Structure 1
C-alpha cells in the first residue's frame, strides 16, 4: 500500500495542507479537512448579478434597435407630410417675406398714397388728412435717405406703408352718415342658433352658402346656394319669397347663374353673397369677381389683382376648407371682398366694392394670416374673423375696423354649431343675423352690439 501526499492550496491564504492517502485497488483514497478553506460565495453572487445586469442592458438595447427600425418609416412619413404642408408657405421665402422690397416700388406706392390723400385733403381738409400728409412726406424723406445711405430697413418701412395706406383708405370717400348708422362699432355677443335645418338638396352637399338679400330696402328674399361639383363649383341659386317657404322647402325657384358647372361664369367656392337681387361670387377658376343680376340675367366681371386662388390662401385654422380663397360679404352700405395676396405675405386684404359698377373703391391690408382663421364676415365696416374651438363651438376672436384702421385681437365671442366645418358665414344688416353654412346644415344667429 502506497501513501500519497496531496498538497492543497488554501484559497485566501498562502498555506498548504498535506493530505495522506492510501491506494485501494485502482483508487486513491484520502480524507480532506475542508474547514481550512471556504468557497467565495459573496464574490460569486456579485459576478452573477453583474452578468445579469449586462444581459438585461443588452436585451434593452436590442429592443430599442427593433423599435427604432419600426419607427423610422413612421418618422420618414411624418417628415414628408410636414414638408408637403410647408410647401404651401414657400412663397414667404421666395416672393416676399425674406426678400428686400425694391425701393423704386416702395417709392411708387408712397407717391400713389400721397396723391390720394392730397386729393382728399383738397376736397375736405381736416386734421387727419393734414397729419397723414405730414407723415407721408416724412416717409418719402426716409426712402430718399435709404437711397442715399444704402440703408435697407425695408420690412419696417413696408409695415409703416401698410398702416399709412389703411388710414388713407379710411379718410377717402367714406359716407358722411357711416358712423351714425353704425354707432356701436364692435359686436358684443352672438345668440344661440335661432334657425337650424338641413339644406334642401342633400346632406352630402357640405359646401355652400345661404342667407337673405342684404340690401336694406330689399324684400324678404331668402336664398340657398350649394356647391354640387366636388364641393367646388355651382351654377344655380335657389330663391325663396318668404321665410315660411324657405323653412318648408316649397315654392322655390332655381335661378341659373351659368349654363354649366364649367362655364366661365360658373361659381367657384362657397364665398357667395346676395345683394340687391344680385349674386356676387368668385368666377370659375380665376382671380375675378362676378356679379349676376337675377332680374336682368346680366353678368359682370372684375379682376382681383394679386388674389391667391385654388387653395393658395383658403380658410384653415383647424383644417383647411377647400375653395375658400375669396369670400364675398355685404353690410349696410357696400359689398366687400376678403382675400389674401403674396404681396401682403398671405395676410387678409379687405376691399370695398361699388355693387353697381363692380369697382374697388377702398382696400385695407391687415396683419391677420388668412390660413389662421376659419371664416370672416363684415358688420358696419368692421371685419370679424373666427377660429375653431371644438366640433360644436366657434369663436370670434379678431376684428379690424376699416373706419379707424384699428385691429382688435382680444375678442372672445363664442357661438354654437352642429358640425366642425364652416363653408360660409355672412351677416345680414336687414335683420341683424349671422347666416352659417355648417357642413350641409343651415344655421342663423342674432347679434348684439
Structure 2
C-alpha cells in the first residue's frame, strides 16, 4: 500500500491539509474532511455588498450626468441672459481709463469750460465768475503736471471738472426771473392722493403720463398719454378742457402726434410733458427730443448728444421700467430733460431746453446713478428723485439745485401709491401738484415747501 500525500490549499484559511490515501487498482482513495472546504459566505456577502454599492454609485452618477445634460441648455440660457443684462454696464469698465488719450479729452473739456466761464465773465463780471476762472486756471496747471509727471488720477479730476462745470452753468445768462421766481427752494411734504382714477383707455396700459399744461399763464388743459404698443410707443394724446371732464372721461379730444406708432415723430417712452400747448417727448427710436405744437401741428427735433437710449439708462431701483431713458419735465422756469450718458458714468444729466427753439441752453451733471432711482421731477430749477419703499409707498430722497450746483442726499418725503410701478411723475407749477402715472392708475398730490 502506497501512501500519498495530497496537499490541498484552502482559500478561506490559506492553510495546507495533509491527507493519507490508499491505492486501489488504478485509483487513489482519500478520505477528506469537507469542513475545510466550507464556502466563505461572509466574504462573498461583503464582496456582493461592495459590488452593489459600486453599482448604485454608478447608477447615481449616470443619473447626474443625464440631469446635467438636461440642465446645460438652461444654464447656457441663464448665462446668456446675465451677459445681456450686464452689457448695460459695459460703460463702467475702466480699462484704459488712465491713458494719455483720456487726459487729452479731459484737457479739451477743461478748455471748453474755461472759455464758457470767460465769456460769462466778460458779459457780467462778478465774484463767482472770478473765483471760477481762478479755479479753472489751477485745474489746467494740475493737468499739465499730470502730463509732466505721467501720474494720472482722472477720476478725481473728472469729479472736480463736473463741479466746476455745474457752477459755470449756473453762472450763465438766464432769464431775469430764473432765480427770483422761486423763493421757497426745497419741498418739505407731499399729501395723500387728491385724485385717483384708472386711465381712460385700458387697465392693461401700464405706461404713460398725464397732467396739466405746465405754462403758468395757460388755461385749464388736462392731458393723458398712454403707451399702447408694447408699453413703448404712442402717437396720440388725449386732451380735456377741465378736471371735471377728465374725471368723467367726457368731452375729450384725441390729438394725433404722428401718423403711426413707428413714425420717426412717434413717442417713445413715458417721459412726456405738455408745456404751452406743446407736447415734449423722446422721438421714436432715437436720442432726439421732439416738440409737437397742438395748435400749428408742427414738429421740431433736436439731438440729445450722448444720451443713452433703448433701456441703457432707464429708471430702475426696485425693478426697471422699460423705455424711461429720457424724461421731459417742466416747472416755473421752462422745460427740462433728464437723462444719463456714458461720459457721466450713467449718472443723471439735467439740461434746460428753450421751449420755442428747442435749443439746449444749460447742462448740469450730477453724481446720482440713474438706475438707482424710480422717477424724477423738477420744481423751481431743483431736480428731485424718488426711490421704491414698498408696493404702496414711494420716497423722495434726493435733490439737486441747478442754481447752486449743490446736492442734497438727506431728504425723506414719503408718499402713497396704489401699485408698485411708476411710469411718470411730473410737477405742475400752475396748481403746485405732482401728477403720477402709477401703472394704469392716475394720481395727483398737493405739495408743500
Query: TM-score scaled to structure 2, two decimals?
Result: 0.83
Q: In the TM superposition, what whole-angstrom CA distance separates every residue of 1:346-384 from its partner, at most 9, and x where no partner exists?
A: 111000111111111110011111111111111111111
Whole-angstrom distance in 1 between the partners of 2:96 and 2:420: 33
Paired residue secondary structure (2:193): strand
Whole-angstrom distance in 1 between the partners of 2:95 and 2:444: 40
Does the alignment pair 1:283 with 2:299? no
Shift of 1:397: 1.3
Q: Do the aligned residues in 2 keep the contact of 1:288 with 1:301 (CA within 8 Å)?
A: yes
Residues matched between the structures, number: 444
Task: Write out aligned runs for 1:36-115 (5 A).
Answer: 79-93=79-93, 102-115=102-115
Shift of 1:83: 2.8
- For 2:43, the equivalent position in structure 1 comes to none
Q: Do the aligned residues in 1 keep the contact of 2:98 with 2:152 (CA within 8 Å)?
A: no
- For 2:198, the equivalent position in structure 1 comes to 198
- For 1:233, the equivalent position in structure 2 comes to 233
Q: In the TM superposition, what whole-angstrom CA distance separates every residue of 1:219-267 from its partner, at most 9, and x where no partner exists?
A: 0100001111111111111100111000000011111111111111111
Shift of 1:213: 0.3
Structure 2, unmatched stretches of 5+, are: 1-59
Q: In the TM superposition, what whole-angstrom CA distance separates every residue of 1:58-112 from its partner, at most 9, and x where no partner exists?
A: xx99999999999888766655443332121113227886767622221221111
Q: Do the aligned residues in 2 keep the contact of 1:315 with 1:374 (CA within 8 Å)?
A: yes
Structure 1, unmatched stretches of 5+, are: 1-59
Does the alignment pair 1:428 with 2:425? no
- For 2:54, the equivalent position in structure 1 comes to none
What is the root-mean-square deviation in Å for CA atoms of aligned residues? 3.9
Change (3 A) 1:228 1:66: closer
Q: Do the aligned residues in 1 keep the contact of 2:195 with 2:445 (CA within 8 Å)?
A: yes
- For 1:444, the equivalent position in structure 2 comes to 444
Change (3 A) 1:249 1:97: farther
Whole-angstrom distance in 2 between the partners of 1:324 and 1:249: 27
Whole-angstrom distance in 2 between the partners of 1:69 and 1:397: 48
Whole-angstrom distance in 2 between the partners of 1:125 and 1:280: 35
Paired residue secondary structure (2:269): strand
Q: Do the aligned residues in 2 keep the contact of 1:96 with 1:345 (CA within 8 Å)?
A: no
- For 1:321, the equivalent position in structure 2 comes to 321
Paired residue secondary structure (1:361): strand
Paired residue secondary structure (1:344): coil
Whole-angstrom distance in 1 between the partners of 2:398 and 2:96: 25
- For 2:134, the equivalent position in structure 1 comes to 134
Whole-angstrom distance in 2 between the partners of 1:409 and 1:292: 36
Deviates more, 1:245-254 or 1:109-118: 109-118
Paired residue secondary structure (1:193): coil
Q: In the TM superposition, what whole-angstrom CA distance separates every residue of 1:21-50 from its partner, at most 9, and x where no partner exists?
A: xxxxxxxxxxxxxxxxxxxxxxxxxxxxxx
Q: In the TM superposition, what whole-angstrom CA distance separates every residue of 1:292-330 from its partner, at most 9, and x where no partner exists?
A: 111111111111001111111111111111111100000
- For 1:178, the equivalent position in structure 2 comes to 179
- For 2:213, the equivalent position in structure 1 comes to 213
Does the alignment pair 1:152 with 2:152? yes
